[in-house]
Amino acid sequence: MRYFTRKIVFFLATLWAAITLNFIIPRLQPGDPAEVMVQKLAGKDAQLNPAAVEAMRAMLGAPEGSLFEQYIAYLKALSQGDFGISYTYYPYPVTEVIGQALPWTLVLVGVTQILAFVIGVTLGAYAAWRRNTRFDSIVTLGSTFLGTLPSFWIALLLLFVFGYTTGWFPTGGGYSSTSPGLNVAFLGDAAYHSLLPALSLLISAPIGWILGMRNTMIMNLGEDYIRLAKAKGLPDRVVALRYAARNALLPSVTGFAIALGGVLGGSILVEKIYDYPGMGRLMDEAIGNRDFPLLQALLLFIIVGVLLANLIADLLYGVLDPRVRRAES
């Protein structure tokens, strides 16, 4: 019980620190959102009118007062679920803007992360069990090579080949002229548009799981309990799955939970390349437009998602591995 209580208290303290940093960091960014919007309306080379800037600042509801007063107002609004109005998508609330982008990212990045984890741990476990064979060499060297390729470069290459050259897939967007809705036509169109972004993420995403699972399982294969299981005459399949792979999978639980928590942030570069209407593209727009309310809400979503996923992983780790609870007590 002490182990679980300590983890929950640590989660709450970290959450408060994250919320505070989430308030401070966007305000350290140079530039005034009101000036940015007025400059866009007036033209790139036009001289800014101070009265127009003040009017824009009042229209956007920019925070006033000292930094401490803004912090107290921020906490009060946060407790009420009020993230303010988006500067980029004025006059829509931040919650509505995020609500439209969140499902796209959850489907795209969430599905690819789950597939990457399953594929990665499976290939890594089998490569470890068949270590020093041709399969192990192909998987290890292939993963090492693909790991050097950034995801945005893979996305640009796939877009050029399958989007512009062959024309097999659309070059951007989340859907075409189909009206959004829960119908077969729209879901099929959305899936068709998401194939290239998903493939861009899925090519490099399993690599960390493959190498991590392989290395951990090889270490476990040298343990005494593996030799004992073999000495008892257990089949190789049972030794590999129930003994070696099961224990090697435990360190990957925390990493997988954090990866799922980070899904809320999307993939900024890949979503921008494909003009995919997800959280990553939304964050890129918020940074470029100095949209503090939207940027703060997006960062908070990501932080809370990662912290919750980490908490769940710690609690689950304590359930799966009793040694953790005994060590804590």
**Both structure tokens of 85:** 């109005």
Asked if residue 56 belongs to a domain, the reply is: no
What gap in Å lies between CA 81 and CA 227, rounded to an integer?
Answer: 56
pLDDT of res. 266: 59
Query: In the beta sheet, which residues pair with residue 85?
Result: 93
pLDDT of res. 42: 67
Asked if residue 234 belongs to a domain, the reply is: yes
At 276, which CATH number? 1.10.3720.10
10-residue mean pLDDT series, the chain (329 residues):
76 84 73 66 68 69 70 81 78 84 84 86 83 84 80 85 86 75 77 86 82 81 75 77 73 72 69 83 80 82 80 70 57
Query: Helix/strand/coil (H, E, C) string of the chain?
Result: CHHHHHHHHHHHHHHHHHHHHHHHHHHHCCCCHHHHHHHHHHCCCCCCCHHHHHHHHHHHCCCCCCHHHHHHHHHHHHHCCCCCECCCCCCCEHHHHHHHHHHHHHHHHHHHHHHHHHHHHHHHHHHHHCCCCHHHHHHHHHHHHHHCCCHHHHHHHHHHHHHHHCCCCCCCCCCCCCCCCCCHHHHHHHHHHHHHHHHHHHHHCCHHHHHHHHHHHHHHHCCHHHHHHHHCCCCHHHHHHHHHHHHHHHHHHHHHHHHHHHHHHCCHHHHHHCCCCCHHHHHHHHHHCCCHHHHHHHHHHHHHHHHHHHHHHHHHHHHHCHHHHHHHC
Asked if residue 201 belongs to a domain, the reply is: yes
Asked if residue 64 belongs to a domain, the reply is: no
Asked if residue 89 belongs to a domain, the reply is: no
Range of the domain at 185: 101-328
pLDDT of res. 145: 82
Domain count, the chain: 1
What gap in Å lies between CA 17 and CA 81, rounded to an integer?
Answer: 18
pLDDT of res. 290: 74
Asked if residue 276 belongs to a domain, the reply is: yes
Asked if residue 38 belongs to a domain, the reply is: no
pLDDT of res. 328: 53
pTM of the model: 0.70
Taking the CA atoms of 227, 231, 237 and 243 in sequence, report the sign of the dihedral they define.
negative
Asked if residue 85 belongs to a domain, the reply is: no
